[in-house]
Amino acid sequence: MDVPPFDVALSDAASDVDALMDRLIVVPEGPEARVVEAMRYAALGPGKRLRPFLVLCSAGLFGVGRRGALQAAAAVEMVHAYSLVHDDLPAMDNSDLRRGRPTCHKQFDDATAILAGDGLLTLAFEVLAQPHTHADPAVRCELVTALAVAAGNQGMVGGQMFDLLAEHRPDLDIGAITRLQRLKTGALIAFSCEAGGILGKAPHDARVALRGYAHDLGLAFQIADDLLDVEGSPDQTGKPVGQDAAAGKATFVSILGVPRARAQAELLVAQAVAHLDIFDANTELLRQTARFVVERRA
């Protein structure tokens, strides 16, 4: 089967997942409408939709139907959007700008932003549990469990705690930073890659390969993020830059320096794509995603 150009595939994925989230996040009548408007603001705002794209690409390896894959893609994007809303709050990063627009708590207010994050996190699991996601309840249950582990204290929430405690700890070493980032951003990226394997009831070796790809991709993504924080501008990235240094945080870039961090990201891209060699199916989009992750400017 012909593979569409990377840009087209990424933008089609973004349109399709946005169309589904638009249908799933419905503003009701009554005073609770405000929190749903904030959920829509956070989830449907501009963004790369990288995690949904990874779900769709990994699902594509196993011939999974588009609707089921989109359900899982929408769920992971909702969890991602929630994490950004909560991360931007005054009690955490205290950011005013996200995706080139006021952050959710600036557009609404702190309490509404907290509730909007809670609403998105909760809705994600409702979506995974819907029969549209997969006909087999055991598959839906496996997706729910995997996303809970990735998003919760064993994954993103644990990583965020670690990150908050890492402020003013420029002494943290590369091993500690790697663990922190694997939890904070890597776990959700890993879920996105593994979701296709769960939906497609993929064999063990395929899941191991996807996990390896996701691990290297997640670290490459984070190094690219650290480089953008040093070298990018708010116009490019749509968010404040220089925040890591201002918070006295150790990062891959503060420890390795820019040239070695860039070389490490390249090495991780090469390692990530090597994991894909076991697949007979076309892995071109996943290979190009690894390049995109380190070459992106936002």
Burial of 26 (0-12, 13-18, 19+ CB in 10 A): exposed
Q: Residues 239 to 278: which contact ligand GRG by CB under 6 A?
A: none
* Residue closer to ligand GRG, measured from CB, 202 or 265: 265
Q: With binding defined as CB under 6 A, does residue 287 bind ligand GRG?
A: no
Q: How far apart, in whole angstroms, are the C-alpha atoms of residue 92 and residue 117?
A: 14
Q: Which of 20, 42, 57, 84 binds ligand GRG (CB under 6 A)?
A: 84
Minimal distance, residue 159 CB to ligand GRG, in Å: 7
Q: What residues contact residue 115 under an 8 Å CB cut-off, 6+ apart?
A: 35, 38
Taking CB under 6 A as the binding criterion, the range among 27-35, 83-91, 252-260, 287-295 that sits at the site for ligand GRG is 83-91
Query: Is 11 within 8 Å of 88 (Cβ atoms)?
Result: no
Two structure tokens written together for 16: 């399709």
Q: Which of 157, 230, 241, 247 binds ligand GRG (CB under 6 A)?
A: 157
Q: Which of 71, 112, 133, 185 binds ligand GRG (CB under 6 A)?
A: 185
AA letter at 47: G
Dihedral of alpha carbons 274, 56, 114, 107, sign = positive
Q: With binding defined as CB under 6 A, does residue 186 bind ligand GRG?
A: no
Residue position matching structure tokens 């380190």:
294
Nearest residue to ligand GRG on Cβ basis: 47
Taking CB under 6 A as the binding criterion, the range among 77-85, 133-141, 271-279, 281-289 that sits at the site for ligand GRG is 77-85
Which whole-number Å values give the CA distances from 209 to 6, 62, 279, 291, in the listed order? 21, 13, 9, 18
Q: With binding defined as CB under 6 A, does residue 50 bind ligand GRG?
A: yes
Q: With binding defined as CB under 6 A, does residue 192 bind ligand GRG?
A: no
Q: With binding defined as CB under 6 A, does residue 79 bind ligand GRG?
A: no
H-helix or E-strand containing 115?
helix 110-129
Sites of contact with ligand GRG (CB under 6 A): 47-48, 50, 80, 83-84, 86-87, 99, 156-157, 160, 184-185, 225
